[in-house]
Amino acid sequence: MKAVITSGRLAAFAFSIALSAASAPTASAASATASGPSALALAAVLSADSAVHNSFDKRVLARLFAGDTNISFPPHKKISVKVNSITCRVSNVDITSRSCDLTFTTGKRALKGREANELYGTLAVAGVAAEGAAGSMIESVTNLDCTVDPNAVKQKDGSGADCTFTTGP
């Protein structure tokens, strides 16, 4: 018995292949959040490199991140840390290579070595998954917006720090 494929069957077969390919998983951007300790860590690590914050807010974040809650901060005031985009690369071939590129509304900053490793690790703790590409592991986020309420953090109940961001390409 010989199988005969008619043009109608061929078209249906081609359509089903195209439909399968269209529904295959692809990398896409996704909204994400971090709160509590990972959000405080992310805000504190990024504030050190941000040109958009005043030195008082940077010192407050650094002290909170170091565990020092004996601070005086105006009630109802919050600290905001915003970054347009972050791309961190750590090579799994050249194990000495690690870098992060940060883009703020006021400019760009490049980190290397320990500073890049600290940010890469902090992003991982905040739930950003690394993707591999040609000898590198890459973590990237856009539209990162962290808000820290120092007076809430002082309460030591897990509240007071939240971040939102978009992951992926």
What pLDDT, on a 0 to 100 scale, did the predictor assign at position 10? Answer: 34
Domain ranges of the chain: 34-67+79-167
pLDDT value at 88 more than 70: yes
Counting residues of the chain whose pLDDT is more than 90, the rounded percentage is: 70
Q: Which has the closest alpha carbon to 110: 95, 99, 126, 98?
A: 99
* C-alpha to C-alpha distance for 31 and 10, rounded to whole angstroms: 40
pTM of the model: 0.80
The one-character DSSP state at 24 is S
- Cα–Cα distance, 76 to 29 (Å, whole number): 33
**Is the alpha carbon torsion for 151, 153, 159, 160 positive or negative?**
positive
- Which of 126, 165, 128, 127 has its CA nearest to residue 145? 165
Tell me the pairing of strands 107-112 and 131-133.
Answer: unpaired
Tens digit of each residue's pLDDT (9 = 90 or more) over 100-129? 999 998 889 999 999 999 999 999 999 999
Average pLDDT, the chain: 84
Report, as an integer, the average pLDDT of 3-7.
Answer: 45
> Are 40 and 63 in contact, with CB atoms under 8 Å apart?
no
User: Is the predicted pLDDT of residue 16 greater than 70, yes or no?
Assistant: no
* 4 has pLDDT over 50: no
79-97 burial code (b ≥16 CB/10 A, e <16): bebebebbebbbeeeeeee
Distance CA 96, CA 136 (A): 12
pLDDT score of 75 = 93
Cα–Cα distance measured from residue 133 to residue 130, given in angstroms and rounded to the nearest whole number: 10
Query: What is the tens place of the pLDDT at every residue in 37-64?
Result: 999 999 999 998 775 568 899 999 999 9
Question: What does the pLDDT read at residue 29?
Answer: 76
Supply the pLDDT for residue 134.
79
- H runs (alpha helix) in 126-162: 150-153
Q: Record the tokens describing residue 67, joined without a space.
A: 């565990």
